Amino acid sequence: MKGVLIAAERSGSGKTTITTGIARALSRQGRKVAPFKCGPDYIDSRHLARAAGNPVENLDSVMLDKTTLRQIFAQGCQGRDLALVEGVMGLFDGIEPRRFGGSSYDVAVQLGLPVVVVLNAASCSYTIAALLRGLQSLCRSTPLVGVIVNQLASSNHERLIRSALEQHTDIPVLGSVPRQTNPLAPSRHLGITTAAEMEENYFDACADLVQQHVNLDALSAIDLTSELQWQEQGIPKTTRICAVARDHAFNFYYEANLREIERRGYALRFFSPLAGETVPEADFIYIGGGYPELYAETLSTRQELHQWLLQHSAASRPLLAECGGMMLLTKGIVDGEGRHHPMTGIFAARCRMTGKRQALGYVQVQEPISLTGLVGHEFRYSTLEDVNEPYVFTLEKVTNGARSRDGFIKSKTLAGYVHFHFSSQPSLLDWLLK
d(CA 294, CA 299): 10
Query: pLDDT tens for residues 1-16?
Result: 899 999 999 998 999 9
Domain shared by 55 and 171, yes or no: yes
Domain shared by 206 and 95, yes or no: yes
Q: Provide the terminal-to-terminal Cα distance of the chain, rounded to the nearest Å.
A: 40
Provide the pLDDT for residue 180: 81
Q: How far is CA 178 from CA 15, 121, 153, 158, 184, in A?
A: 14, 10, 6, 9, 13
Identify whether 323 is a catalytic site residue. Answer: yes
Q: Is residue 228 part of a domain?
A: no
Specify the CATH number for the domain of residue 426. 3.40.50.880
Nearest residue to 16 via CA among 2, 254, 283, 39: 39
Domain shared by 121 and 195, yes or no: yes
Provide the pLDDT for residue 182: 64
Domain shared by 259 and 135, yes or no: no
Final residue belonging to a domain, choices 184, 219, 254: 219
DSSP state of 220: T
Final residue belonging to a domain, choices 156, 189, 219: 219
Domain shared by 172 and 55, yes or no: yes
Q: Is residue 231 part of a domain?
A: no
DSSP state of 223: B
Domain shared by 201 and 278, yes or no: no
Final residue belonging to a domain, choices 186, 219, 252: 219
Domain shared by 265 and 396, yes or no: yes
Provide the pLDDT for residue 192: 62
Specify the CATH number for the domain of residue 75. 3.40.50.300
The residue range of the domain holding 137 is 2-219
Q: Is residue 233 part of a domain?
A: no
Q: Is residue 85 part of a domain?
A: yes
Q: Are 244 and 271 in contact (CB under 8 A)?
A: yes
338: left (phi over 0), alpha (psi -120 to 50) or beta: left
Provide the pLDDT for residue 43: 84
Q: Which residues of the chain have pLDDT under 50?
A: 188
Q: Is residue 119 part of a domain?
A: yes
Domain shared by 180 and 283, yes or no: no
Judging by DSSP bridges, how do beta strands 375-380 and 419-420 pair with one another? antiparallel
Q: How many domains does the chain have?
A: 2
Judging by DSSP bridges, how do beta strands 115-120 and 2-8 pair with one another? parallel
Q: Is residue 226 part of a domain?
A: no
Domain shared by 125 and 161, yes or no: yes
Query: pLDDT tens for residues 59-107?
Result: 999 999 999 999 999 999 999 999 999 999 999 999 999 999 999 999 9
Q: Is residue 229 part of a domain?
A: no
Provide the pLDDT for residue 355: 86
Nearest residue to 386 via CA among 346, 330, 429, 306: 330
Which residue among the candidates 38, 77, 323, 351 is catalytic per the annotation? Answer: 323
Q: Is residue 37 part of a domain?
A: yes
Domain shared by 135 and 210, yes or no: yes
Domain shared by 246 and 127, yes or no: no
Domain shared by 195 and 271, yes or no: no
